[in-house]
Structure 1
Amino acid sequence: MTLSFSALLFQGALEEGLFNMLVGYFNEGGPFMWPVLIALILGLAIFLERLITLNRADINTRKFILDVKEALQDGGIQSAEELCSSTRGPVASVFQAGLLRADEGIDAAEKAIQSYGSIEMSFLERGLVWLSLFIAIAPMLGFTGTVIGMIQAFDAIEAAGDISPSLVAGGIKVALLTTASGLIAGIILQVGYNYCVSKIDRLVVDMEESSIVLVDSIALLKQGKQIISDEELAERSAGKDDTSEEEKSDS
C-alpha cells in the first residue's frame, strides 16, 4: 500500500514537472506559440466531432443487410423502408432512398442510390477541409516564429556588436520552440485526419457493396423469387440461437 502510494506521488510529481516544463517552453516560445496552440485546439475539436459522427454512422452492415432482406421478403418494400428509417448511418439512408423509388423501377432506384450516396459521402467528409487547413497552418506558423526568432537574434548581435552564445541563445531558442510546436501540432492533426479518411473510406465501401445487394434484392422481389439464400437463413438462425443463449446466460 505504501509502495503504491509512493509510486502515485512520484508519478504525480513527474506529471506536474512535465506540465510546468511545457508551460515554461510555451511562455519562452514567444507570441507565435498562441496561433499554433489555437490551430491545434480547433483542429482537435474538428477531429473529435468527426470521430463521434463517424462512430455513430458505423453499424453492423452485414446484419443490417440481412434484416432488410428479411423485411423485403416478409413485408415488402414498405416494411424494409420502415426498418431503414429507424436505423442510423449512411447505409440505411442510402437504402431508404433506393426503396422510396423502387416502385418506379430498378433503374430509378439505382439512380436514387447513386445520388444519395454522393450526398452521404459529402456529409461524411464535412469538416475535413478545415482540418487539413489547420494541418498546413500549424507548421507554417511555427516556421514564421522561427524566422522572427532568428531576426531577433541577429538584431541582438547587431546592437551589441559582438557574437556571444548567451546573446543569441534567446532568439535561437524561440526559433526552435516555435518550429517544434508547429511540427508537433501538425503531426497530431495529421494522424487524426488520416484516421477519419480511413474510416470514411470503409463506410463508402460498405455503402457501395450494400447498394449492389439492395438493387439485386429489389430485382428478386419484383420477380417473385426468394431474396434470402439458404446460407443466409442458416447464418440468421445461428445468430438468433447465439443471442438467445447469451440472454439465458445473462439471466
Structure 2
Amino acid sequence: MKRLFSILAITCLMVIGTVNANATTTVAAATTTVANVAQDDTAETEDLGFHQELKKRFIEGGPGFMGIVLLCLILGLAIAIERIIFLNLSTTNSKKLTQNVEDALASGGIEAAKEVCRNTKGPVASIFYQGLDRADEDIDAAEKAVVAYGGVQMGQLEKNVSWISLFIALAPMLGFMGTVIGMIQAFDKIEAAGDMQPSLVAGGIKVALLTTVFGLIVAIILQIFYNYIIAKIDSIVNDMEDSSITLMDLLVRHKK
C-alpha cells in the first residue's frame, strides 16, 4: 500500500513537472512571438524614414490648409534665398575701395577715382561714384548726392523683405485657422452622433493639431532667414554710412 502511494506520488510529481515544463515552453514561445512582433513593428517604424513620415503627416493634415502653408514656405524661401544671394554680392571690402579711391584721387584726380568705382560692384562703390560725379560742383552737392543715392541703395537692399515677414505671420495664422475648423468638424460629428465617442473627434482634432504644427514650423524656418537678412542689411547700411563720411573727408582734402 505504501508502495502504491509512493508510485502515485512520483507519478503526480512527474505530471506536474511536465505541465510546468510545457507551460514554461508555451510562455517562452509566446514571449518570443511577442518579441518578434515588436521587432517587426520596430523595423517597420525604422523603415519609415523622415520624408515618408513627413509626407504621411502632411496628407493627414488635409490638402487645403496644408497646401497653403506649404506655398507660404516655398515663396518665403525663394525670396529669402534671392535676398541672401543679392546681399552677399553687394558686400564690398570698403576699406580696400576707400584706399583705391584715395590713391586714384592723388594720382589721377576725380576721373581716375570714378573709374575705380565703375570697376567695383556693390552699393558702396555706387555711392562713391555719385559723390565723385558731383565733386566738381561743391562739397554740399556731393554730400546731397551721396545721401540721396544712399536711400536708393537702401531701398534696393530691402526689396521684397516685407513679403518674408508677411509669410512669417501668415503661416501660423493659417495653422490656427485649420485648428479652429478641425475642432468645429469634431463638434459637428459629436452633435450628429448624439454621443461623445473618442473615435468621432479624434480625426478632427488630429487635423487641427497637424495644421498648427506645420504652420509654426514654417514660421520658425522663415524667421531664421528673415533675421539673417535683416542683420546683413544693417551691416551693409552701416558700412555705407561710414564709407560716405570717409568719402566726404577725401573730397575735402582733395579740394584743398
Report the TM-score range of the alignment, normalised by the length of the smaller protein: 0.7 to 0.9
Deviation at residue 93 of structure 1 after TM alignment: 0.5
3-state SS of paired residue (1:144): helix
The residue type equivalent to 1:41 in the other structure is I
Residue of structure 1 in register with 2:219 after alignment: 186
Q: CA deviation at 1:131?
A: 1.0
> For structure 1, which runs of at least 5 residues remain unmatched after alignment?
1-12, 224-251
1:175 and 1:16 map into 2 onto residues whose CA distance is 23
Matches of 1:66 and 1:162 in 2, distance apart?
Answer: 81
- In the TM superposition, 1:137-216 aligns within 5 A as 137-216=170-249
Match of 1:129 in 2: 162
Residue 99 of structure 1 pairs with residue 132 of structure 2: yes
Give the distance between the partners of 1:109 and 1:122, measured in 2 at CA: 20
> CA shift at 1:16, angstroms?
6.1
Aligned to 2:96: 63
**Alignment-mate amino acid for residue 157 of structure 1:** I
When residues 84 and 40 of structure 1 are mapped into structure 2, their CA distance, relative to the original with a 3 A threshold, is: same
TM-score normalised to structure 1 length: 0.82
Question: What are the Cα deviations for residues 3-49 of structure 1, in whole angstroms up to 9, with x where unaligned?
Answer: xxxxxxxxxx9696110000000001012100000001000000000
SS of match in other structure, 2:196: coil
Distance 2:121 2:47 in 1: 41
Q: Give distance in 1, aligned partners of 2:217 and 2:133.
A: 49
Letter in 2 for 1:17: G
Q: Alignment length, in residue pairs?
A: 211
Q: How does 1:39-58 map to 2 (within 5 A)?
A: 39-58=72-91
SS of the residue corresponding to residue 210 of structure 1 reads helix
Q: Highest Rg: 1 or 2?
A: 2
Provide, for residues 53-83 of structure 1, a one-character-per-residue CA deviation record: whole Å limited to 9, x for no partner: 0000012111111111111111111011011
Q: Quick one: higher RCO (CA 8 Å, sep 6+), 1 or 2?
A: 1
Structure 1: how far apart are the matches of 2:96 and 2:134? 23
> Which amino acid is the alignment partner of residue 173 of structure 1?
K
Tell me: CA distance 1:190–1:115, structure 2 relative to 1, closer, same or farther (3 Å): same
Q: For the structure 1 residues 215 and 18, does the alpha-carbon distance in structure 2 shift closer, same or farther, using more than 3 Å as the test?
A: same
Greater shift in the superposed pair: 164-173 or 19-28: 164-173
1:104 alignment partner, SS class: coil
Q: State the distance in 2 between where 1:148 and 1:26 align.
A: 17
- Percent identical across equivalent pairs? 59
